Amino acid sequence: MMSDTISAPESAPADAAGLRRLLDGEHHEIRARVRERLADEDYAPVPGDIDRDEYRELVMKWMKQLADEGETAILFPEKYGGKGNLGGGISAFEMMGHSDLSLLVKCGVHFGLFGGAILHLGDEQQREEYLPRVISAELPGCFAMTEHGHGSDVQRLGTMATYHADSDEFVIHTPDDSARKDYIGNSAVHGKMAVVFAQLLVDGESHGVHALLVPLRDDEGNVLPGVRIEDDGQKLGLNGVDNGQIWFDEVRVPRTALLGRYGTVTEEGRYESEFENPNRRFFTTIGTLVQGRVSVAGAALSATKSALTIAIRYALHRRQFGVPGEEGDELLLIDYRAHQRRLFPLLAKTYALHFAQQELIGELDRIVGRGEGEDRDKRKLEAFAAGIKATSTWHATDTIQTCREACGGAGYMDENRFAALKADTDVFTTFEGDNTVLLQLVAKGLLTDYKERFGDLSRLELVRFVGEQAYETVVERTLARQLVTRLVDAVTPNGDEDDEGDIEDREYQLRLFEWREEHVMSAVARRLKRGIDDGHDQFDVFNDAQDHVLHAARTHVDAQILEAFNRAVEACEDESLRPLLEKLFNLYALSVIEAERGWFFEHGRMTGPRSKAVTRSINRLCTELRDQAELLVDAFGIPDTQLAPIATGGAG
């Protein structure tokens, strides 16, 4: 018989509340407050057949309600009416990823992108004038960067902002249809103002892309003269957000509409910027908006946790088939090895990404929120955010689909949330930066660091240096040498228990990931330099090696995630929790090794017996984690109102 309720396993070595406190970290009080709010039935996810116009108005009502209750002020400094807690604000936003995702995205566009642009790109006068109205949601805003014909190539946007000295105004103009602003959230119905990214032209000279504040509607909601807005229409998901297309026909805005932190026009009509290099100014401007990528990564992880919670709870009470020839109950889904194999490695990766995300939020708070760190720290933060955003959103897409399949026909029902989770998160892989482009950003940062280490070495010296450096990574350190030696030479044909023990050593796994990263990076550096030394065009050289470059970025991000997970394990002082984290760590690390064993075989770091030992260890870890599965998802603390009937004891 299928039970009507889901009981916690009696043998759990730790409690969900203790693990939840560990996961919630520094901002646990803020996360608890958001949980309490989401437990209110008023914030329950909407059914899939809701009318689109009704949906949009409901989401807008939710957003204003949050603003009225002071929940949206946390991101902004106290001097503008905020609460001055950037890390706490990102944590709250991350928790809202368990709710209806249209609300999350609408808040993200208005408070995070529109408000964030004014905060980080505006001057003091602009922040004082506009941010209180942003915080209160009195001035609903848009972030008008993306254009129909340019996508991620922001430096080549077509919208023009031409300064006219006679009237002391900028004229904002869309020269052709390829320059129309597209997919702009909040624009189709509610937006009253937009941060518009445009090519700045002053006295006949181009100064590249800048951001300006451009009104869209009056206080009654009427579109202003010169502005044309059309609804993007029905989307794959997130239909509670009013995305639209915007054209500007010589719209005039005052000179003070230019967000002037990094570039401004004086009363005399002279352009000024602290940056002599326009490229550096542009990338500094874009880099200040990194919190958007951090937020999307966190939201994707929350949706992933929701999917895993639904699927694992369902597997804990859904029975199917049984032991052939024997009487009695059918077996629980969770007891099948294949089912464990589908869900538990994804759960382990979600934990790994959670700890990496928490470190990312901490770095964002330190560097952006508190203004600490040098330019190099900011570049590292941008790359870290890009890598985690790409990995988390791809992981969400894969995990939600797997969880839907693991719930069979029940997972296909609208009430059980997978339809919304799949549809609403799908855009996250291209939202706030296409993931493949973001990984190229990560790789370029790595190559820049690599070049700085090499200096002006000749090609022969470079090759020699790379070889020595890669050798030192593996051999120079005593521990690393021992571990790599075991990896290749200590394998016995029978794969005995001692041999399997090595592959579950955390130091061994960390060194292996580090070696893989360094090996791929040095190979990419050699390949690129060889192409350039042979006289080929730099773009062609990079383009030809793009697959290799992206692989280097992935290995780097994998290593970052594992290292963050390791630091979390090391910092855990609760003796009831640490063994559980260690098992999850092992499962995550070994799952990556298993997935990449073809590469390890190719590079002499894997043998047949060792590969089989990895598989055996994963299977054993899945069995050991079976009785902890419910605890591991309960620790996410997702209110039942945001889950599904099949996850809360309903029929399936």
pLDDT digits (tens, 9 = 90+) for 531-580: 888 888 888 888 888 899 999 999 999 999 999 999 999 999 998 999 99
Write down the pLDDT at residue 394.
98
Calculate the CA 532 to chain-centre distance: 34
CATH number at residue 454: 1.20.140.10
* Boundary-marking domain end, from 230, 257, 277: 277
Amino acid 282: pLDDT: 78
Q: Containing H/E element for 90? A: helix 86-95
What is the model's pLDDT at position 373? 79
- Could you tell me which residues are beta bridge partners of residue 143? 195
**Which pLDDT belongs to residue 454?**
53
Residue 341 to residue 344: CA distance in whole angstroms: 6
Out of 256, 277, 298, pick the residue that ends a domain. 277
What CATH number should be reported for the domain holding residue 197?
2.40.110.10
In a domain, residue 456? The reply is: yes
Q: What is the pLDDT of residue 495?
A: 37
In the numeric block, which tokens belong to residue 475? 């051999």
Q: Is 318 within a domain?
A: no
Q: How many domains does the chain have?
A: 2
- Regions of the chain with pLDDT less than 50: 1-12, 456-501
Asked, for residue 133, whether it belongs to a domain, the answer is no
Does the residue 291 lie in any domain? no
457 assigned to some structural domain: yes
- The kind and range of the H/E element at 170 are strand 169-173
CA angle 369, 371, 375 (to 5 degrees): 120
399: region left, alpha or beta (phi > 0 left; psi from -120 to 50 alpha): alpha
Residue 429 lies inside a defined structural domain of this protein:
no
* Domain stops at, among 257, 277, 297: 277
Share of the chain above pLDDT 70, in %: 88
Which structural domain range is residue 238 located in? 141-277
**Backbone angles phi and psi of 224, in degrees to 5:** -75, 155
Q: Is residue 293 part of a domain?
A: no
In 302-326, which positions are buried (b, 16+ CB within 10 angstroms) versus exposed (e)? bbbbbbbbbbbbbbbbbbeeeeeee
C-alpha separations of 581 from 13, 240, 383, 635 in Å: 12, 38, 27, 13
Q: Are 214 and 172 in contact (CB under 8 A)?
A: yes
In a domain, 209, yes or no: yes
Q: Are 260 and 123 in contact (CB under 8 A)?
A: yes
C-alpha–C-alpha distance, residues 501 and 186, integer Å: 55
User: What would the pLDDT profile of 142-166 be if each residue is shown by its tens digit?
Assistant: 999 999 997 777 888 999 999 999 9
